[in-house]
A and B are shown apart, each in its own frame.
Chain A
Amino acid sequence: RKEVEQDPGPFNVPEGATVAFNCTYSNSASQSFFWYRQDCRKEPKLLMSVYSSGNEDGRFTAQLNRASQYISLLIRDSKLSDSATYLCAVNSRGFGNEKLTFGTGTRLTIIP
């Protein structure tokens, strides 16, 4: 089993719709969780950290479910500019300043 798994998609969603992605992780000691966005031929850009209590940033909501070992990302009122690949990342060692393990990404296309 991979350390971090994501549904690769593609998700083709009409503009204005709500879309949600899940990401599962295998190491129960993991402490830090993140969502990144990657556009074609660009570097990953940090979208948001995922806090234990869940957190929201505008149209984006991230949640952590430790019992089931997954994180989620919800995008409301999707825009054409949201089209990208979304990567989840987990600090699998359970410590602070160490490597992230990334999922392979979920590709999202917003359709006009």
Chain B
Amino acid sequence: GAGVSQSPSNKVTEKGKDVELRCDPISGHTALYWYRQSLGQGLEFLIYFQGNSAPDKSGLPSDRFSAERTGGSVSTLTIQRTQQEDSAVYLCASSSIGTSGNHEQYFGPGTRLTVT
């Protein structure tokens, strides 16, 4: 079946511009997560959605970052007034309950954001 999809796959933007990243989770997955991965760094949690609400926004690095999810499906991550330190790969994941009861998260291919 279809996996998690993200768009665009690559985005180059000028410092100070706003960007919007999109994630389509696996059909039927109620939980959706945004992470980012900087060059040579581990995955950093940003925000988690259960349905359309975000119980955990603790990883958003500043108020320039926001995210929403509509219809319990597609999510968009918006970064306003981008800075060079925002350059990273932004990864979206969605989860189901596996046979063990674990909430296994499956990742999309990511959006590689470069701020010049």
> Which residues 67-116 of B have a CB within 8 angstroms of A?
91, 95, 97-98, 100, 102-110
What distance in Å separates the Cβ of A39 from its nearest Cβ neighbour in chain B? 12
Does the CB pair A104–B45 fall under 8 Å? no
The CA of A42 and the CA of B6, in the complex, are separated in Å by: 13
Does the CB pair B103–A46 fall under 8 Å? no
What distance in Å separates the Cβ of A66 from its nearest Cβ neighbour in chain B? 15
Annotate A42-79 by CB proximity to B: 1 below 8 A, 0 otherwise: 11111001010000000000000000000000000000
Does the CB pair A32–B107 fall under 8 Å? no
Instruction: Please tell me the number of chain B residues within 8 Å of chain A, measured between CB atoms.
Output: 26
Binding site for B on A (CB under 8 A): 32-34, 42-46, 49, 51, 87, 89, 91, 96-105
Does the CB pair B103–A43 fall under 8 Å? no
Does the CB pair A91–B103 fall under 8 Å? yes
Does the CB pair B102–A34 fall under 8 Å? yes
With contacts A99-B48, A102-B42, A105-B42 taken as known, whether A42 is within 8 angstroms of B106 at the C-beta atoms is no
Does the CB pair B109–A43 fall under 8 Å? yes
> What residue in chain A is nearest B33 (Cβ atoms)?
A99
Cβ of B41 within 8 Å of any chain A Cβ, yes or no, is yes
> Which residues 28-81 of B have a CB within 8 angstroms of A?
30-31, 33, 41-43, 45, 48, 50, 55-56, 59
The CA of A103 and the CA of B109, in the complex, are separated in Å by: 19
Using A34-B105, A49-B100, A98-B48 as known contacts, list a sample of 12 further A-B pairs with CB atoms less than 8 Å apart, ordered by residue number in A: A32-B103, A34-B104, A43-B110, A49-B98, A89-B105, A97-B30, A97-B31, A99-B33, A99-B56, A100-B33, A101-B45, A102-B43
Chain B residues within 8 Å of A49, by CB? 98, 100, 102, 104
Chain B residues within 8 Å of A97, by CB? 30-31, 48, 50, 95, 103
Chain A residues within 8 Å of B100, by CB? 49, 51
Can you give 24 contacting A-B residue pairs, CB < 8 Å?
A: A33-B102, A43-B91, A43-B109, A44-B43, A44-B107, A49-B98, A49-B102, A87-B42, A89-B105, A91-B102, A91-B103, A96-B97, A96-B103, A97-B95, A97-B103, A98-B56, A99-B45, A99-B48, A99-B56, A100-B33, A100-B45, A100-B105, A101-B45, A102-B42
